Amino acid sequence: MKKVMYRLFFVWNEDEEIQFLEEQAKQGWLLYRALPFQYTFIQGEADDYTYQFDYSHASSKTYQEKIQFLESCGWTHVTRLLGWHYYRVKTSEHLSKELYTDQESFKEKYSQLMRLFVILGIMNLLSFLNMTFLIYREGSIGVGLLNLFASLLMLYAFIKIHFKIKNFKKRIG
Amino acid sequence: MTKEKDTSARMTEAAYAILLATYEPLHGYGIMQRVKELSQEQILIGPGTLYGVLKKLIHQEWMAMQTIEGQKIYTTTALGQTMVAQEVERLKLLIDMEKGVRL
């Protein structure tokens, strides 16, 4: 049996997303496929599972080596949504509940994503300035404000992740 | 204005533990188990961290990898063992410092 659920996943809600997926698994719904805003689950044995995200822009071919390695360590690569890779393991079978257990590698996980936020943030900010002050005609203000909103969103995401990395020690405990 | 950041000289805790674990050839999952065992369950290494550290160590030639029957097996090289010995000397010095204060 299958179940489809619609969800909005914000990058700063990664831990909440993991919790959601783990609760579904407890009820026997195992993630099968992720599309933008849409998860498909299939019914399996209800059990305690641990989910984790990895992030990489790398093509499937380049990233394949890493998948093979993590799978050889007992984790299942469930699916991919854009740069997000979903991994799952039975809680009783893992040696570590996190994919990344030191600050260096945890930071590395987000490095590509942080760069993306910076680039998109700057591009949107430039577009906002251009639309608002250089072009200035009807309609351009609206687009400009959208750009401003997008760049603020990128800034917010950047700051959120920055503090997440900074507070890594608290997280591992 | 370059910030001094010598990652090759300073060994991370994970790199140290992994290098020690592979004095005997091991596969990825085996390394995680061995580190757990050697550290009396105090150090757990996640597979994502392990993957990245192994890659770096192989690049530095402190670690060697060979594929045996489709399984990747990792072994610390002689150079890697020398680096561990150096790190042990450094740690000993730190411990001796504390002894000096106590006596």
Q: pLDDT tens for residues A9-56?
A: 888 999 999 999 999 999 999 999 999 999 999 999 999 999 999 999
Contacts of A96 in chain B (CB under 8 A): 32, 44-47
Q: Is there a contact between B48 and A102 if contact means CB atoms under 8 Å apart?
A: no
Contacts of A76 in chain B (CB under 8 A): none
DSSP letter (8 states) at residue B13: H
- Rounded mean pLDDT, A119-132: 92
- Rounded mean pLDDT, B83-95: 95
Interface A-B, measured as beta-carbon pairs within 8 A, has a size of: 64
Beta-carbon-side half-sphere exposure of residue B3 (alpha carbons within 13 Å): 2
**CA nearest A70: which of B45, B42, B61?**
B45
Sign of CA dihedral B9, B15, B21, B26: negative
Distance (Å) from the alpha carbon of A33 to chain B's nearest alpha carbon: 22
Q: Find the distance separating the first CA and the last CA of chain B, reported in whole Å.
A: 43
pLDDT class of B1 with cuts at 50, 70, 90: very low
| Crossing angle of the two packed helices A60-72 and B47-59, in degrees rounded to 10 | 110
What predicted TM-score, i.e. pTM, was given to this entire model?
0.89
- Mapping DSSP to helix (H, G, I), strand (E, B) and coil, where does residue B6 land? coil
Distance (Å) from the alpha carbon of A73 to chain B's nearest alpha carbon: 5
Q: Measured between alpha carbons, how far is residue A44 from residues A32, A35, A75 in Å?
A: 11, 20, 17
What token pair was written down for A132? 């608002």
Comparing CB atoms, the residue among A75, A95, A104 nearest residue B44 is A95
- Mapping DSSP to helix (H, G, I), strand (E, B) and coil, where does residue A22 land? helix
In this complex, is the C-beta atom of A101 within 8 Å of any C-beta atom belonging to chain B?
Answer: yes
Strand segments (E) across chain A: 2-6, 29-35, 38-43, 49-55, 76-81, 84-90
Beta-carbon-side half-sphere exposure of residue B38 (alpha carbons within 13 Å): 18
Q: Give dist(CA A50, CA A88) in Å, integer.
A: 6
Is residue A169 over pLDDT 50?
yes
Q: Is there a contact between B28 and A108 if contact means CB atoms under 8 Å apart?
A: no
Q: Give dist(CA A144, CA A135) in Å, integer.
A: 10
What's the alpha-carbon Rg for chain B, to the nearest Å? 15
- Mapping DSSP to helix (H, G, I), strand (E, B) and coil, where does residue A142 land? helix
Beta-carbon-side half-sphere exposure of residue A137 (alpha carbons within 13 Å): 1
- Which of A8-17, B1-10, B28-37, B79-88 is the least confident region? B1-10
Is residue B57 over pLDDT 80?
yes
pLDDT class of B60 with cuts at 50, 70, 90: very high
Burial class (CB in 10 A: 0-12, 13-18, 19+), A32: middle
Distance (Å) from the alpha carbon of A14 to chain B's nearest alpha carbon: 17
**Can you name the residues that pair with A38 across neighbouring β-strands?**
A6, A35
**CA nearest A127: which of A145, A100, A109?**
A145
Contacts of A99 in chain B (CB under 8 A): 46-49
Q: Which H or E run contains B64?
A: strand B63-68
